């Protein structure tokens, strides 16, 4: 039950996962650097910063990014603009780094082999927590140093960097607990994603109503540190205590279960499968249905909140033309143009979420290969192409469900907020324009699975770059050629105003078909399982 061998396990975690760790750290720090350099050029005088602060007095921005103290300083401005990336980026980083060395290794059977050596029962979990915690701390301090380098106040930058690390550490603890509770890594991710979105929305509701709900979310604790206002350090202590308590609970739960099992056991199977489950399509749907439901709920919740606040967001941006320029809106037809620009951004965010679902769904096929279930399935006179095609159909059908649910939530809540039913159809039409971007990522994921399954992380990297260019690029006045490299912009930069880009749609459709075909060819030619 001891922790002997924790040093060895830490070295193993670093040796096998250093690439992912470096990518996460560089990505977060890179976004901060890009944000700082762009905002420094846009808000280069105290008057502009003061105007920015005066324009953000509405509740809409409080729901999206919390009530950030010190908005009349460059540091507060930077923290507010980085807030959305922080709210989702750090939790996802913590989940990815913690789960890979705990539940993922245990599910694959690697952890049991390591424990057969002179490795204590608790050593792998402790090593995973140490590595993930070190990574989030490094990220926080580096982001704080980056803020100071761009002109933010040094003490506030350091405190905000600790806030970044504190949010990540809480989710390290959450993931460590989830890894003891459920048996599959995808379930750990499901719990982590649900809590990320739920706590984010809880913080928003607490900030909107100015009540105690704010204190139920670690996102809210970041705001209450008030790094660039009148700072108070004790919320950082609260995050530290909660994170350590969660880690302690994870160890307590670890001692009360067997290796390879979980506290919540999967439902017992019935002696005989249903007729639908005995078909390839039914079996594939059984595998992916949980992810479809989870992603659909997440997308619906987020889009419903964004749509409900559409008018308030427009009011805020209309009062600050510089902020409208940052979001990529022109001066002509400011009111209507800003409204459609913001809604186009929300539609793009929905397409990013759907693309992430697709990449995750196709990536899950690798686990079928690693666990040996794929070989069993192919032994029953079934071709590789038919197996992959069925799973691809189910994943893309799930993408349709996730996208349709999110689009209806966004369009419906916007129509209710503005009193204009036309927004339901407009949002649905804009979502259709984004379909080629989603298909491109499906093709990329299939190509990687067919030729190099271990390189699936490349699909996530391309998605991350495309999402950042799509979300931040227009406001940062980046070159058009660079912006068009993002599939989400290639289909049309403002889909609700300008419609689709014919060239972008054709190119992405051709790339999608080519990559998908290449993936099927590669899957037919390579070994199963591949090393």
Helix or strand or coil: residue 177? helix
- In this predicted structure, what is the pLDDT of residue 112? 79
DSSP 282: H
How far is Cα of residue 233 from the mean position of the Cα atoms in its chain? 28
Residue 434 token pair: 């984004």
DSSP 268: P
Would you say residue 333 has pLDDT above 80? no
- In this predicted structure, what is the pLDDT of residue 331? 40
What are the backbone angles phi and psi of residue 210, rounded to the nearest 5°? 55, 50
- Percentage of residues in the chain with pLDDT exceeding 90? 39
Would you say residue 146 has pLDDT above 70? yes
Average of per-residue pLDDT across 344-364 = 91
Lowest mean pLDDT among 255-259, 306-310, 441-445, 505-509: 306-310
Q: Which helix (H) or strand (E) holds 352?
A: helix 334-363
- CB atoms inside a 10 Å sphere around CB 346: 23
- In this predicted structure, what is the pLDDT of residue 268? 63
Residue 231 token pair: 């700072």
- In this predicted structure, what is the pLDDT of residue 332? 41
pLDDT digits (tens, 9 = 90+) for 191-245: 998 899 889 988 888 887 778 888 999 999 998 999 998 899 999 999 999 999 9
CB of 28 closer than 8 Å to CB of 143: yes
CB of 446 closer than 8 Å to CB of 346: no
d(CA 531, CA 525) in angstroms, rounded, equals 14
Enumerate residues 6+ apart whose C-beta is below 8 A from 13: 101, 127, 128, 131
Residue count (the chain):
531
pLDDT digits (tens, 9 = 90+) for 36-79: 887 887 788 888 888 777 766 556 667 777 888 888 899 988 99
What is the domain partition of the chain in residue ranges? 1-261, 276-531
d(CA 430, CA 441) in angstroms, rounded, equals 18
pLDDT band (50, 70, 90) for residue 315: low
- In this predicted structure, what is the pLDDT of residue 322? 52
**Burial class for 168, CB neighbours closer than 10 Å (0-12, 13-18, 19+):** buried
Would you say residue 34 has pLDDT above 60? yes
Residue appearing with tokens 């901060």 = 32
Average of per-residue pLDDT across 309-332 = 57
- In this predicted structure, what is the pLDDT of residue 136? 96
d(CA 157, CA 214) in angstroms, rounded, equals 22
d(CA 71, CA 82) in angstroms, rounded, equals 13
Lowest mean pLDDT among 173-187, 374-388, 406-420: 374-388
Report the number of secondary-structure helices (H) and strands (E) in the chain.
Answer: 24, 0
What are the backbone angles phi and psi of residue 182, rounded to the nearest 5°? -115, 160
Q: Return the C-alpha torsion angle 330, 332, 338, 341, nearest 10.
A: -60
CB of 420 closer than 8 Å to CB of 314: no
d(CA 143, CA 166) in angstroms, rounded, equals 13
CB of 183 closer than 8 Å to CB of 262: yes
d(CA 102, CA 97) in angstroms, rounded, equals 9
Residue-averaged pLDDT of the chain: 85
Q: Is the dihedral of CA 82, 83, 84, 88 positive or negative?
A: positive
pLDDT band (50, 70, 90) for residue 362: very high
CB of 76 closer than 8 Å to CB of 69: yes
């Amino acid at each position: 039950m001891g922790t002997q061998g924790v040093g060895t396990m830490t070295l193993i975690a670093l040796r096998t996962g250093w690439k992912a760790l470096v990518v996460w750290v560089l990505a977060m720090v890179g976004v901060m650097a890009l944000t700082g350099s762009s905002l420094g050029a846009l808000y280069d005088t105290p008057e502009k910063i003061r105007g920015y602060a005066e324009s953000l007095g509405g509740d809409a921005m409080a729901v999206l990014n919390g009530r950030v103290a010190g908005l009349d300083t460059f540091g507060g401005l930077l923290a507010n603009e980085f807030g959305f990336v922080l709210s989702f980026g750090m939790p996802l980083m913590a989940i990815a780094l913690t789960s890979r060395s705990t539940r993922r290794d245990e599910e694959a059977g690697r952890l049991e082999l390591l424990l057969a050596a002179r490795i204590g029962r608790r050593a792998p979990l402790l090593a995973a927590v140490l590595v993930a915690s070190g990574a989030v701390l490094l990220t926080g301090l580096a982001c704080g140093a980056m803020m100071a380098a761009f002109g933010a106040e040094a003490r506030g930058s350091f405190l905000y960097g600790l806030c970044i690390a504190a949010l990540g550490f809480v989710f390290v603890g959450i993931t460590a607990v989830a890894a003891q509770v459920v048996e599959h890594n995808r379930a750990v991710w499901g719990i982590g994603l649900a809590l990320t979105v739920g706590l984010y929305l809880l913080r928003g509701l607490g900030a909107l109503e100015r009540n105690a709900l704010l204190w139920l979310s670690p996102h809210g604790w970041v705001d209450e540190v008030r790094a660039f206002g009148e700072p108070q350090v004790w919320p950082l202590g609260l995050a530290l205590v909660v994170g350590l308590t969660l880690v302690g609970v994870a160890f307590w739960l670890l001692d009360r279960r067997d290796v390879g099992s979980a506290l919540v056991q999967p439902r017992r199977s019935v002696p005989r499968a249903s007729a639908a489950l005995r078909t390839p399509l039914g079996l594939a749907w059984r595998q992916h249905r949980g992810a479809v439901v989870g992603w659909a709920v997440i997308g619906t919740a987020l889009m419903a909140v964004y749509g409900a606040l559409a008018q308030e967001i427009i009011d805020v941006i209309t009062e600050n033309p510089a902020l409208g320029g940052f979001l990529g809106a022109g001066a002509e037809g400011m009111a209507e143009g800003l409204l459609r620009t913001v809604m186009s951004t929300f539609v793009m965010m929905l397409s990013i979420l759907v693309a992430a679902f697709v990449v995750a769904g196709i990536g899950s096929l690798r686990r079928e290969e690693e666990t040996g279930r794929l070989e069993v399935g192919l032994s029953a006179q079934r071709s590789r192409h038919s197996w992959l095609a069925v799973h691809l159909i189910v994943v893309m059908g799930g993408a349709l469900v996730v996208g349709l649910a999110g689009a209806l939530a966004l369009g419906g809540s916007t129509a209710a907020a503005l009193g204009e039913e036309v927004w339901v159809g407009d949002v649905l039409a804009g979502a259709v324009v984004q379909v080629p971007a989603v298909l491109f990522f499906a093709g990329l994921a299939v190509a990687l699975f067919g030729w190099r399954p271990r390189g699936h992380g490349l699909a996530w990297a391309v998605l991350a770059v495309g999402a950042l260019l799509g979300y931040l690029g227009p406001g940062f006045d980046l070159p058009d050629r660079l912006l068009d490299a993002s599939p989400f912009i290639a289909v049309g930069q403002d889909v609700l105003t300008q419609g689709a880009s014919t060239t972008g749609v054709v190119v992405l459709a051709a790339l999608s078909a080519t990559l998908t075909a290449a993936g099927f060819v590669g899957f037919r030619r390579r070994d199963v399982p591949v090393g």
